[in-house]
Amino acid sequence: TPRVFSGIKPSGDLHLGNYLGAIRRFVPLQETHETIYCVVDMHAITVWQDPEDLRRWTYEIAAAYIAAGVDPTRSIIFNQSQVMEHAELSWVFNCVARMGWMARMTQFKDKAGENSENVSLGLFAYPSLMAADILLYKATAVPVGEDQRQHLELTRDIAKKFNHDFKKQIKSAGFKDEFFPITETLATGPAMRVKSLKDGTKKMSKSEASDLATIYMMDGADLIAKKIKRATTDPAALPSEVAGLADRPEAENLVGIYAALSNRTAEAVLGEFGGQGWGVFKPALADLAVSVLAPIADEMARLVADRGEMDRILRDGAARARAIAQPIMADVRNIVGFVR
Ligand code: TYM
Q: Is 227 exposed, middle or buried (0-12, 13-18, 19+ CB in 10 A)?
A: buried
**202 among annotated binding-site residues:** no
DSSP labels, 16-50: HHHIIIIIHHHHHHHHHSEEEEEE-HHHHTTS---
Q: What pLDDT sits at residue 211?
A: 84
What is residue 15's DSSP assignment? B
For residue 177, the model assigns a pLDDT of: 81
Using an 8 Å Cβ cutoff, are 138 and 181 in contact? yes
133 is in an annotated binding site: yes
Q: pTM higher than 0.90, yes or no?
A: yes
Ligand 1 test: best mutation among 47, 135, 148, most atoms within 8 Å of CB? 148
Question: Does 99 belong to an annotated binding site?
Answer: no
State the distance from the centre of ligand 1 to the C-alpha of 169, rounded, in angstroms: 34
Q: How far away, in angstroms, is 128 Cα from ligand 1 center? A: 15
9 is in an annotated binding site: yes
- CA nearest to 137, candidates 284, 321, 283: 321
> Is there a contact between 37 and 65 (Cβ–Cβ < 8 Å)?
yes
> In a 3-state reduction of DSSP, which class is residue 65?
helix
Nearest CA to ligand 1 atom 22: 144
Residue 283's closest CA among 226, 339, 205?
226
Q: Is 305 exposed, middle or buried (0-12, 13-18, 19+ CB in 10 A)?
A: exposed
CA dist 123 and 129 (Å) reads 10
Catalytic annotation, residues: 111, 203, 206
CA 184 vs CA 59, 70, 197, 278: distances in Å: 28, 21, 30, 38
CA of 143 to the centre of ligand 1 (A): 9
Beta-strand relationship, 76-79 and 184-186: unpaired
Measured distance between the N- and C-terminal CA atoms of the chain, rounded to whole angstroms: 31
How far apart CA 134 and CA 183 sit, in angstroms, is 8
Ligand 1 pocket test, pick from 40, 202, 206, 215 with the greatest ligand atom count within 8 Å of Cβ, gives 40
Check residue 115 and give its pLDDT.
Answer: 81
pLDDT tens digit at each of 340 positions of the chain: 899 999 999 999 999 999 999 999 999 999 999 999 999 999 999 999 999 999 999 999 999 999 999 999 999 999 999 999 999 999 999 999 999 999 999 999 999 988 888 999 999 999 999 999 999 999 999 999 999 999 999 999 999 999 999 999 999 999 988 999 999 999 999 999 999 999 999 999 987 666 899 999 999 999 999 999 999 999 999 999 999 999 999 999 999 999 999 999 999 999 999 999 999 999 999 999 999 999 999 999 999 999 999 999 999 999 999 999 999 999 999 999 999 9
Amino acid in position 102: M
Q: Provide residues with CB under 6 Å of ligand 1.
A: 5-9, 17-18, 20-22, 40, 43, 130, 133-134, 142, 144-145, 147-148, 151, 192-194, 203-204
In 3D space, the residue among 23, 47, 35 whose CA is nearest the CA of residue 74 turns out to be: 35
The answer to whether the complex's ipTM is over 0.95 is yes
Strands 141-143 and 34-39: unpaired
